[in-house]
Amino acid sequence: MPIIEVTVGPQVSESQIGELAATLPHAVSVAVACPEEPYDGNLQDGDVVLRFRALGPYDSSGLDVCIEIRSKWFASRAENRQTRCDAVLSAVTDAIGPLSAGVYLSLPVAAWSQKE
């Protein structure tokens, strides 16, 4: 289950944020899919956590959109993490057009529990 945090600058429009909200859950799920956590293309509640926040007055960023992804470490994910990160950036670029963007993919050793 990836956790996705998106920081957007003031030049990012509501429609572009909407495009990101529609694009990111699937794009990230495809990018982090692995044998240990396969993605069947059918996202359910709790499969992805997506958070947006505006760039604050004291934040520092040279990007219009900064996306941080955290997903549990597996060797199969780690071996090609740059390719996975690049795939998400490509999807983001398609969604927001000419705005600048960056994607940070972190694969920490972690555990997850969930109650329905």
Domain spans, the chain: 3-106
Distance CA 83, CA 89 (A): 10
Distance CA 5, CA 51 (A): 5
pLDDT the model gives residue 74? 94
Tell me if 110 sits within 8 A of 42, measured CB to CB.
Answer: no
pTM exceeding 0.85? yes
3-state secondary structure of 116: coil
Give, in degrees to the nearest 5, the angle at Cα 68 between 92 and 37.
90
Span 3-106 CATH architecture = 2-Layer Sandwich (3.30)
**pLDDT tens digits, residue range 18-65?**
999 999 999 999 999 999 999 999 998 889 999 999 999 999 989 999
User: Which residue, among 8, 4, 10, 1, has the nearest Cα to 65 in the 3D structure?
Assistant: 8
Sign of CA dihedral 114, 23, 54, 103: positive
Q: Which stretches within the chain are classed as H helix?
A: 14-32, 75-78, 81-96
3-state secondary structure of 15: helix
Query: Residue 115: which pLDDT band, with cuts at 50, 70 and 90?
Result: confident
